[in-house]
Amino acid sequence: MRLKFMNLIAYEMCPDFQNDFGVASYISFLNSLIDHPDDVKHLRKKHILRNLLGSDEEVVQLFNEMDTIVVPNNQFSDKVKSMIEAHCNTTWKIWIAQFFHDRFSKPWVLGSIGVLSGLGMTAVQTWYTVNSDNPSSPCKALLEYLKARGY
């Protein structure tokens, strides 16, 4: 992969055509994101990066080596970083993220919500069954029987 990246960057640096140095900018941007194997793991989980090298450490080493030959385009990466920060620093997104982090970080909370929603749906189903207009429903017959007996 290192040789492929180097060849792409070398081809991109040729003065034969006009370009925006997209490969070099992309590699430089990824290098700014990747410092540790945990960074690679996080990018893989979000389907931003695919690791075909084997281990996450090899990816970190590859981008550290590429850092010495790539001339970063800070204008591109600064613009992308500012757009990401602006997206993430929206007030309502921060509030929602904080709410979910505070309220749903424990597994028992999700289990409790599941139990309560199951009980709620059971109560709604029971209410509709009892209050249905079907004259032959078993609930209507039971209610009539209980009313006749004085309960």
Distances, alpha carbon 96 to alpha carbons 83, 101, 113, in Å: 20, 8, 18
Q: Quote the CA–CA distance of 80 and 97 in Å, as a whole number.
A: 22
Phi-psi region of 26 (alpha: psi -120 to 50; beta: other; left: phi over 0): alpha
pLDDT at 90: 84
Report, as an integer, the average pLDDT of 78-105: 82
pLDDT at 68: 64
> Across the chain, which distance is largest between two alpha carbons, in Å?
99
- Per-residue pLDDT of 41-83, as tens digits, reads 988 898 888 888 788 888 888 888 777 666 656 676 777 778 8
CA 68, 77, 73, 44 torsion-angle sign? positive
